[in-house]
């Protein structure tokens, strides 16, 4: 049981270090196809979270938000 927990903790630590590497950031946007997470902490953790734009699901979320905004403007 301890072995599984240690392995899980190591992978979380590894994932968190990936989100802090400057090579994975393009300006304000995070792109890392090796990172399986959709939401990642920003490089400065006090600034919150962002999407991993290497994931197709991130683009789906952005498209849905845009559709909602445009739809609400057209209806109003």
The kind and range of the H/E element at 11 are helix 2-20
What pTM value is reported for the model? 0.75
**pLDDT tens per residue across span 12-62:** 888 888 888 999 999 989 999 999 999 999 888 788 999 999 999 999 999
Higher-pLDDT residue of 17 and 6 is 17
CB distance 16 to 37 below 8 Å? no
What local confidence, expressed as pLDDT, does residue 9 receive? 54
Q: How is residue 49 written in tokens?
A: 């979270």
**Confidence class of residue 10 from pLDDT cuts 50, 70 and 90?**
low
């Amino acid at each position: 049981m301890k072995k599984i927990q240690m392995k899980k903790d190591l992978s979380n630590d590894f994932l968190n270090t990936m989100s802090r590497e400057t090579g994975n950031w393009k300006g304000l946007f995070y792109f890392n196809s090796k990172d399986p997470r959709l939401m990642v902490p920003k490089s400065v953790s006090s600034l919150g979270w962002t999407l991993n734009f290497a994931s197709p699901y991130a683009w789906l979320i952005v498209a849905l938000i845009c559709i909602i905004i445009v739809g609400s403007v057209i209806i109003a």
